[in-house]
Structure 1
């Protein structure tokens, strides 16, 4: 297996973090990975916040209904896209996944927390002082894993078909 597939297959959603700082080099690498994510019509409609202040991280944790563990992360990325862009969600999701994989390539764990359509999206945008033309796509708390759980995955035969789908 090559290095890329090792990174892809090894990635996990991490919700428990060690109390260990993440270097600026790794943060920059994750942003660089997002910069190279696929984007419809090369629009690049995203802006990405990096939150390190504990007080703000705690507020994000309080706002995110399924992200209470954000409070334990060393930092949290917030991915926003221009909501008028036709493919804002697709482009924002691509950037989110690139950040997650960029972090994981350095051994830093994270977890994708939904932002789009969530009741707290505008509150997060306001908290981070992001202009109204942007909408929250995701929050990505990050830190070195304190615990890694390996969930079971469906087999390839259960998730793929060739040419045309058939129940048989």
Structure 2
């Protein structure tokens, strides 16, 4: 198996983190990976916040309905895209996944927390001082895993078809 597939197959959503700092070099590498994400018409409509201050991490954990563990992360990325861009969701999701995989390649775990269409999206944008022309796509708390759970996944046969879908 090649390195890329090893990273893809090993990635897990991590919600429990060790109290160990994620280096600025790893954070920069994750941002570098995000900027290389595919984007419709090469618009690159994103901005990415990097939050490390405990007070702000605590506030984010209070806002995000399914992200209470943000307060325990070493760092949290906030991915925003220009909301008037036709493919803002797709482009923001591509950048989000690049960050997640980039972090995992360094052994740093993370968890994708939804932002788009969530009731707290505007509150997060306001908290971080992001202009109104942007909308929140995701929050990505990250840190070195304290616990890794391996959930069961459907088989490739259960989720794919070739040429044309057929009911059995």
By how many angstroms is 1:118 displaced? 0.1
CA RMSD of aligned residues (A): 0.3
Residue 35 (structure 2) aligns with: 35
In 2, distance between residues paired with 1:127 and 1:158?
42
What is the count of residue pairs matched by the alignment? 168
Q: What TM-score, normalized to structure 1?
A: 1.00
Provide the secondary structure at the position in 2 that maps to 1:138.
Answer: strand
By how many angstroms is 1:105 displaced? 0.2
In 2, distance between residues paired with 1:28 and 1:75?
12
In 2, distance between residues paired with 1:67 and 1:61?
5
By how many angstroms is 1:149 displaced? 0.1
Alignment of 1:131 onto 2:131: yes
In 1, distance between residues paired with 2:156 and 2:61?
35
Unaligned ranges ≥5, structure 2: none
1:68-126 deviation digits (Å, cap 9, x = unpaired): 00010001000000000000000000000000000000000000000000000000000
Unaligned ranges ≥5, structure 1: none
1:5-37 deviation digits (Å, cap 9, x = unpaired): 000000000000000000011000000000000
In 2, distance between residues paired with 1:117 and 1:27?
26
- 1:1-168 mapped onto 2 (5 Å cutoff): 1-168=1-168
Q: What TM-score, normalized to structure 2?
A: 1.00
